[in-house]
Structure 1
Amino acid sequence: MRLRSHYLVLALSIVVPLAVFGGIALHVLQDTQHSSAIGRIEQSAILTARAVDADIYRAQSVLKVLGRSHALAQGDLQRFYEEAREASAAPGGWIILYDTGGQQLLNTRRQYGVELPKRPDPEQIGTMLASGRGQVTGIKWGEVLKNHFVMVEEPIRTPSGQRYVIGQAFSPAFFAHSFTGRALPPGWRVAILDSAGIIIARSENADKFVGRSVRPDTLAVINKTRSGVFTHLSGDNREVVDAFTRSERSNWSIVIGAPVDEINAAVWRGVPFMSAGLVIALVAALALAMLAGRHLVRFVARASQAAALLGQGGEVRELPRSGIHELERLNIAIREASDRLQAEMRSRSDAESERNALLVSEKTARARAEEQNAAKDEFLAMLGHELRNPLSAVASAVSILDNARQVDDAMAQRARDVLRRQTDHLRKLVDDLLEVNRALMGKLELQKAPVDLAEVVQRCVDTLKASGRTAAFTVRVDSVPATVNADPTRLLQIIDNLLDNAIKYSPGGGEIALTVRQVGDAAEFSVRDSGLGIAPELLPHVFDIFVQGKQSLQRAHGGLGIGLSLVRRLVELHGGFVRIDSEGSGKGSTATVTLPRLAGPAPAAPAAASAAASRLRRVLLVEDNPDAREMMSMLLQLRSCDVVSAASGPEAIASALAAQPELAFIDIGLPGMDGYALARALKADARTAAIELIALTGYGSEKDRTQAVDAGFARHFTKPIRLEDLDQALA
């Protein structure tokens, strides 16, 4: 086939289909636009019917509410008259109350007490009272009003057995608002007809047509079905498309009509644009065919250039396909040669890239390992410092107490205070390390219950005050009750960490303000201090683990930098969030915790366990560490306990059989027979099964607690045991 023939076939294959399908598309567009216009009329009728139904439903609701009036039930018609005037469901509407005989008892359009006429159709009253169903009337003529109106009526029965019919009357103009507020084209007409075909409202010439019946042929079409579309000639001899639908509540018909010539004019307005577009497309197609022919002539030149590029080792990315067999074979040969050449070059390039990537990965891994090693060394140094400080103070206090003859009572008391504070500090360091690790690994389990956040905050403040930690500060608490669903222990941990930071980083004599308030459905707790503040560059990282502000070698503020990390994780587990705000160094900081709030007050907290009874208690202590066993024995003896101690499981079983103790404090990590096995053995023997077992161990995870309960332990405490926990266990 010659090139000239290709030009002709190409031009015809573009122009002919385009012309045919363009004509079809134009015809389809006309039909679519016409159907869309009819659909818009139908949708307008449906929306108007819904508006009418909404007005009627509102009136029925008002009537039913009035039917339950205490004034009506008590027979106080004058007070009921005032209520009815206030409750009218529409501007310009009025309320009428009928007795069972159809006599008007009151009419809010007339003064109360004036003589009122009897209803002309009293049989309707009987029908409504018998059926228990209300009605929406058609349009009526009021002789007294000299105007048309419609009624929405409901039968009612008072608790005392009195029966009435109450109605809401409307002027026809009221229902005109259902279509006057809609953006309808000027030539469209809207009418509302009652079930008899009488016009209730009309968008044009309402004064002339309201109260008149529509033509019989129109009424016949409307009565055949609940909705539809029909075409007819209007009174001014114009062809009109009418869409109608029926109101669900009133059985009225809503009719919207649009002149056919206006609909067609809207459809034909788009035809010139479509025709112009089709002509432009045909011209463009011809031009495209000419250009395609010209490009075809240039094909050989491009193929020659591609061959030259291939010979230079370049890539032939794209070659236009050709319908000429010989030229297309040339294209295929060039593309295959290019693909083989590029595959070889990519293989070499991939090998080089892989080698370079391995080098980069090795450098990155080495750098990361060095960073992690430096972070590990820094953390170990920090941990060593934080542990040596309290250990140094403990060692000094012990040395002071060893010289009892040279130490007065005040100095001894100060040494004991130091021992108490520093052991508490050591316990907090260990607890924080374990807690933050469990929190980050997702192993924390919460025991939630409704608690008052304000009460927990006050309890924490009272504890700090009792310990003397807040003596150098002005602590101000401003709180309101706020019930949250939280684990009380974890909540205390959150508050204690934030208060500890506020005290740690505030100068003596500063103010610490605590606030608890309700914000919508949330409870918000904030701690504001006037201390060192947070530098802007550190603020985004305060919740990162092991992050602290720069400190001197003395580390005056101490800590491991994990408190806020633990706080954030605990708050998130409660479904809340925490943020830290500071205007900069030296300007203080504010920590704010937001938690979901429960409705209603928190249940009263259970009363604290009473102190251990003064009577002598028989206690078995099982501990393999001699020093820990001796100190714990002394502590129990100070609390009126007769203590029997053992260093292993078999020894403990023998002691339990001999002494028959009431309580047994058992270490878990015993040599040979561990604490779990010992507990199971004691519970399995009827002679020792009644002993209450208490686990005293260094293992404090939730899994450890569960395992202890499964083994038979009644309680689980981590070392060192707090005195209040010990007293609770003994009680």
Structure 2
Amino acid sequence: MSPPAPSLPLRWHLVRLAVGTLLPAVVFAAVVVFQLARLERQDVERRVVRSARSLATAFEREMSGSIRTLQALAQSDHLDRGELESFLSECERVRRTQPAWKQVLLISPDGRLLLNTSYPWGAPLPPVAEQESFARVLETHQPIVGGLAVGKGPRRAFALPIRVPVMRDGVLRYVLTAVITPESLTEVVASPSSGNEEWTRTLVDPRGMVAARTRDPVRFVGQRATPSFQENTRASLEGVYSDVSMDGAPVYVAFSRSQPSDWTAAIVSPRRVLDAPVTGSMLTAGWLGLVLLSASAGGAWLYSRRLERSITQASNAAAALARGDRPHMEPSSVRELAQLGEALERSGLLLRERERERDANLATAERARAEAVEATRAKDVFLAMLGHELRNPLAPIVTSMEVLRRRGLAQTPEHEVISRHLRHVVRLVDDLLDMARLARGQLSLRREPLELSAVTVRAVEAAAPLIRQRHHVLETHVSSSGLPVLADADRLTQVVANLLMNAAKYTPPGGRIQLRAGEQEGGIALVVEDDGQGLSPELVPRLFEPFVQGARTIDRSEGGLGIGLALVRSLVEAHGGRVEAHSEGPGLGSRFTVWLPRHTDAEAALPQETQRERAAAGATTNPGNLLRVLVVDDNVDAAESLAELLALSGYEVAVAHDCQGALNRAGEFRPDVALLDIGLPEVDGYGVAERIRERLGESSPVFAALTGYSLDGDHARSQAAGFRHHFVKPLDIKELLAFVESVRLTRHGTA
């Protein structure tokens, strides 16, 4: 047993209480002061960046003016006629109108200097000084602002070229160049707009050479900027970072790269200018907090002497009560201390009683928790098995119906009834399993940019059979473009389809349903409105809860499990949106509004469903290069119906029902694609795929999983096992054919 902590007098506890109470307030004040100072510093940083951006803009504007003048000079008729001596005179006249220009050069494409306004006609001319920008003009045929370079003349002075191509009939005839000295950039960098004399304004060329500087230009112009400056300015177009200046002083550098010249404008400020507000604020907050803490501790120390006497009396009374004596306390100015003696005995009795109740409640809670964990585990296992057992018999039914349709044998009303109710059963199973995933937080979204119209088209197609069955009139007002969202196309289609089917079910036959969408509150609003039986006021607040439904007739002709709207709300909120229901009352129709955030960068992407339809169409229109498909399923009906469907789609098909049969058929048939049921007897689909790979090696087919299990863990496991696709029964025929066709195109190319 560890020794008890040393006791302290009351006055020390009061001092600690006072300090502990005041300390958070002092810390909070310090944080507020620091945040305000930080915001002030950020404002200064923004102003410095704006100043750098203005400097870059001013430089680019100066260069653009010179480029336009050179382009006008390049149109001279003297160049067309080859009168270079006359053109030299014209260049000299133009140069005198441009204070920033030192000289004008005309260079042939092979690099020969043809004329220079600093030399009379016929005099020997020095070679071209800065070759890099000249080569870029030859390559791009675009105006170029070159970097700082040392001239080839007798003065060997620094200068920078502005080069413009002279084009005739699409052919580069000459390169016209204006040479500018760094001194001509003085007015650009010496702008008085900064408002701070401690800032140093600098221009640096694309190679990192300092071309102009407001502070000590004679010393630094022509020198290369520091490596850290070049590294940071190459990493982004704008920014602020901490550095050491060229003369060794600690500074902050704000920079902006001009476009298209790619020069860098920099504003250099001593660190103390930006750090001073934060440092001063923290010192002030620290001294003020220390004074307040000292005053609070002193006051608590003085007041504690009055309380110590009453506390001592209460302690003596408690000791007397423990000995069985009558406690005695003199009147105290503290009411709570006067009541303490009476409460001691009652507190002991109540404490023992509460401990017994607590132990009983903890035991009950532990049992309930264990039961809940077991019930949740059993429910998850049950739902997974339920999905598997329901999907497996549905798979051959769906495939067989598609085979009948392709053979032209599914045109009777009876086949339409079967198809309609089969789709209804599949949807009920999917909704039930989706609701289970949502309850466990396991429903994932594959979001991509798409147009809302692509979703509504698919949703209308899904709800069309029910709408036609009940003879409703559906009006759709959704623009084909301009409504971009970032969403999971399948899940958002499920949302709109559920709302349309809900409207169709609760609207009497011959009713009217509207589907419209448009911009609202900075996002996109999709509205489904009907003139059906409406909603009662007490139902609206609970409408989106699971298993809540409106009034039903005794025959339950509307169908459903009461989870469609709960799924709608969960899926919409997962997309960052919201859904609302409104009705004027029973018999007055209802309106459901889905609001989704607008995706400003979204492109009108081709919906996945359209892509699958095109790929599926390719499976029937490009019969060349027959693809071999191996179907392995222990459900004979499912395997045979799927094989027949693939054969009708133009593929060569083989069937097996267990591991050994699959291995035999794979060795003989040499398939390109293997569709494996995961739930095979003895050896599951993963084991079959592994054995086929061992036997066929590099000739192994592309594997796809067929399964009634659709949990996210099942998808991840099949992907980890090397399966290219995971199909959940009953199969989406278009998706299956699109996958098989994609393999054919990969292996054999188009026909």
Larger Rg: 1
TM-score, scaled relative to structure 1: 0.49
